[in-house]
Amino acid sequence: QKEVEQNSGPLSVPEGAIASLNCTYSDRGSQSFFWYRQYSGKSPELIMFIYSNGDKEDGRFTAQLNKASQYVSLLIRDSQPSDSATYLCAVNIPRSNYQLIWGAGTKLIIKP
């Protein structure tokens, strides 16, 4: 069974601190990893994509990928109240590149 697992939260982080979100996946052949943000009542939107081991930075966001341990994480530096949302991890299905498997999401709350 292909799975993507995330802690459902909520994860509460003080404003200005680093928020760390984690995701594990079961299929060792997966190659593409996505982080989407979803505000309450809205649709998901892509914030980070990573496919190589290591770190990828974009502004306050850093995605980290460790294929050997089969986990991908998202760090949000200098957290702002506007970062409060649910963060969804998605992973491609090998040999079916047009399908993604989604985690259930982690709800992040940034406290002022």
Q: Contact positions toward another protein, by CB under 8 A?
A: 8, 31-32, 34, 42-46, 49, 51, 88, 90, 92, 97-100, 102-105
Q: What's the closest the beta carbon of residue 63 comes to another protein, in angstroms?
A: 14
Whose Cβ is closer to another protein: residue 49's or residue 71's? Answer: 49
Q: Reply yes or no: is the peptide bond before residue 81 cis, omega within 30 of 0.
A: no
Whose Cβ is closer to another protein: residue 26's or residue 77's? Answer: 26
CA distances from 16 to 45, 56, 62 (A): 23, 21, 15
